[in-house]
Amino acid sequence: MHDALRHLGRRRINHTDGSAATDADACCGKAIISNVAATVREHSLTAENPPQTRRAPFPVRNIPFFYGWVILGITFFCNTVTAGIDGYAISFFVVPMSEDLGVSRAEFSAISLFRLIAIPAVPVIGLLLDMRGGPRLVVTVASIVAGLALIASSLTQEVWQFYLAFGVVFGIVSVTLSWQLLGAAILAKWFVRMRGRVFAISTIGISTGGFVIAPIAGLLIDSIGWRGAWLILGIGILVTLTPFAAMFMRRQPSDVSLQPDGISESEATGNAEAVQGDVATQDERAYEYPWRVREAIRTVAFWAVLAGQALGQAALFGVLFHQVAYMQDKGLSVTDATIVAAVLAGFAIPSKVIYGFLAERYTPQWVMAAVMIPAGASLMLLVVGADRNILIVYAILYGLTMGGFTPVINVVHAHFFGREHMGAIRGASSPVASVAGSVSPFIVAWAWQWYGNYDVSFIAMGVVWAIGGLLVLAVRRPRAPVAVAS
């Protein structure tokens, strides 16, 4: 919205013969600016930031700090659960489950393809997340289903049962609670000025999952077997995430008589009036044009960012799914591979914070390129490394680079398309990226069977990282539709 206002405020209306605009033309232009500014002010005080005319409901009024931090905590834990299990911990199950179920690694890795069944549900889930009461219902139900799916996985006797329980059921839940759908849609509504750091903190949950849940899974497999590991992980979700989501999850600040970022009503009103008083200097972070899906998909930026995200997720999930098996093929024990995986996840934590702050201060597209291209380069250390020390260096460098992918791609989306319809927009873009992330582990496994090692696949993943970074780097922030100015 601000881009359109600034464009109108600075535009000179000229005749076709090149002469200056008449007074009538100038007055017309000013009238347009005034009308659009009034629309922005009305929108900011109703749809997104309504006056606090009612008392905040329980439990919001009993929280001594901005309630958005509670929402951040829930999305953090959702990322910990989904990424810790579906992204990191699954790597520890590849070898023991393949051997016990009598299947090849390619057949086991085909579990990722069954996540594609979740794709048709993603746009619907995105719309639900934009509805009042939708996030609480979605997260509560999804967490219950997630726990039951992992418990069912512990009872697997045939590989098709695992495909159904973990691939289909948990796959749908994982996409629902993931950083690219739930976190992206909800946090963009609760935070504007602090969006970069908030996305960074939220996606630290992804690394926390690798740093905490994955090693726990590895130790459980070593001590009580993979069946017991699935059982404990499933029960853990039911007794932690489910009750917190049911009690505390909320859609956006206006639902509980609050403002984004925890600002007061007077601050929100003053910022809105500033739009009318000075179009060109208004803080554009607080006033974003509310892009709708049908508008966003008509821009080059939408498809370029989507392609970059899809390539990034393909490389990310392909590597995480198979890196422990790759290290075991190089002769590392499960304990050593666990150490390397934990180091990688640990160094991805500060990476998210660093890149999150950078995305607030610099052009997000440049920051995204600074994440993806070095991540691809650092993968080469995993290819050439053969002992634990070199692989720890790989884990440090890869963790410090790829760790910034998830928060920054969320910032890029919100920076380009605003916050109001982010659930629907991410519901439209996530399916393609999810397909890429789901197919990638299977392709890597197929290449392992064809070539007898992971070298070619991981070199390809490094190239994919770099291409994705260059795509995002080449795109510019889209202008608000012309209709805004009319």
Summarize the chain as % helix, strand, coil (round to 5): 80, 0, 20
What digits encode the pLDDT tens for the residues 369-418?
999 999 999 999 999 988 888 999 999 999 999 988 988 988 888 889 88
Whether the pTM exceeds 0.75: the reply is no
The band of 53, judged by pLDDT with boundaries at 50, 70 and 90, is: very low
- Which among 37, 54, 71 is the end of a domain? 54
Q: Is the domain of 185 the same as that of 314?
A: yes
463 and 340 co-located in one domain: yes
CATH classification at residue 90: 1.20.1250.20
- Picking from 213-222, 292-301, 332-341, which range would have the lowest pLDDT averaged per residue? 332-341
Burial class (CB in 10 A: 0-12, 13-18, 19+), 334: middle
Of the chain, the percentage scoring pLDDT greater than 90 comes to 29
Instruction: Classify residue 457: in a domain, yes or no.
Output: yes
Mean pLDDT confidence for 296-324: 91
Establish if 192 belongs to a structural domain.
Answer: yes
User: Are the CB atoms for 202 and 183 separated by under 8 Å?
Assistant: yes
**10 and 152, same domain (yes or no):** no
For the record, the structure tokens of 376 come out as 């691809």
Task: Please say whether the beta carbons of 46 and 141 come within 8 A.
Answer: no
More confident residue, 44 or 106: 106
Say how many C-beta atoms besides its own lie within 10 A of residue 52's C-beta: 16
pLDDT at position 35 over 70: no
The burial of 321, by beta-carbon neighbours within 10 Å (0-12 exposed, 13-18 middle, 19 or more buried), is given as buried
Whole-number Å distance between alpha carbons of 61 and 66: 10
Non-local (6+) Cβ contacts of 86 within 8 A are 170, 171, 174
Residue 409 lies in a domain: yes
pLDDT of residue 467: 96
Q: Which two tokens stand for residue 155?
A: 């009872």
338 and 225 in one domain?
Answer: yes
Calpha distance 407→404 (Å, rounded): 6
Give the H/E segment covering residue 425. helix 422-451
Asked if residues 396 and 343 have their Cβ atoms less than 8 Å apart, the reply is yes
Q: Are residues 422 and 333 in the same domain?
A: yes
What tens digit of pLDDT does each residue of 139-164 get?
A: 999 999 999 999 999 999 999 999 99
| Cis-peptide, bond into residue 50, ω within 30° of zero | no
Which residues have CB under 8 Å from 312's CB, separation 6+? 372, 405, 409, 465, 468
In-domain check, residue 35:
yes
Is the domain of 469 the same as that of 372? yes
Is 275 a member of any domain? Answer: no
Structure tokens, 464: 């994919």
Instruction: Find the helix or strand (DSSP H, E) in which 315 lies.
Output: helix 300-329
How many angstroms separate the CA atoms of 191 and 344, rounded? 29
- 329 lies in the same domain as 420: yes
Query: How many separate domains does the chain show?
Result: 2
Spatial distance between the Cα atoms of 19 and 21, rounded to a whole number of angstroms: 7
What is the distance between the alpha carbons of residues 190 and 251, in angstroms, rounded to a whole number? 8
42 pLDDT band, cuts 50/70/90, is very low
CA distances from 123 to 143, 331, 359 (A): 19, 44, 27
Q: Kindly provide the residue ranges of all beta strands, DSSP E only, lying in 247-313, ordered along the sequence.
A: none
For residue 270, tell me if it sits in a domain. Answer: no
Q: What is the CA radius of gyration of the chain?
A: 24
**Residue length of the chain:** 486
pLDDT at residue 286 in the model: 46
* Residue that is written with structure tokens 């899974």 in the block: 217
Average pLDDT over residues 231-244: 94
Provide the domain limits for residue 20: 2-54
- The answer to whether residues 158 and 14 belong to one domain is no
Helices 364-384/455-474 angle, 10° precision: 170
Average pLDDT, the chain: 80
Confidence class of residue 465 from pLDDT cuts 50, 70 and 90?
very high
**Would you say residue 401 lies in a domain?**
yes
More confident residue, 446 or 188: 446
- Residue whose pair of structure tokens reads 């590849």 in the numeric block: 94
Contacts 24+ apart (CB under 8 A), 379-387: 379/315, 379/319, 379/458, 379/459, 379/461, 379/462, 379/465, 380/459, 380/462, 382/319, 382/323, 382/326, 382/458, 383/455, 383/458, 383/459, 383/462, 385/330, 386/330, 386/331
Asked whether the predicted pLDDT for residue 93 surpasses 50, the reply is yes
- Among candidate residues 28, 54, 80, the one where a domain is terminated: 54
- Per residue in 66-81, pLDDT (tens digit) is 888 999 999 999 989 9
Instruction: Judge whether 289 lies within some domain.
Output: yes
DSSP 56: P
Q: Is the pLDDT of residue 1 over 60?
A: no
Asked if residue 99 and residue 25 are part of one domain, the reply reads: no
- Per-residue confidence at 238, pLDDT binned at 50, 70, 90? very high
Segment 223-249 shows an average pLDDT of 93
Reference 291, options 188, 182, 486, 425; nearest CA is 425
What pLDDT sits at residue 111? 83
Split at pLDDT 50, 70, 90, the class of 256 is confident
Same domain, 217 and 311: yes
With a cut of 50, say whether residue 117 has pLDDT above it.
Answer: yes
Burial of 347 (0-12, 13-18, 19+ CB in 10 A): buried
Flag whether pLDDT at 311 surpasses 80: yes
- Render pLDDT for 333-383 as a digit per residue (tens, 0 to 9): 878 888 888 888 889 888 888 998 898 888 899 999 999 999 999 999 999
Residues 390 and 466 in one domain: yes
Confidence of residue 55 (pLDDT cuts 50, 70, 90): low
Q: At what angle do helices 68-82 and 134-153 cross, to 10 degrees?
A: 20
* Residue-level pLDDT at 227: 95
Contact, 94 vs 106, CB < 8 A? no
Displacement of CA 364 from its chain's centroid (Å): 15
Are both 29 and 81 inside the same structural domain?
no
Neighbour count for residue 323 (Cβ, 10 Å): 25
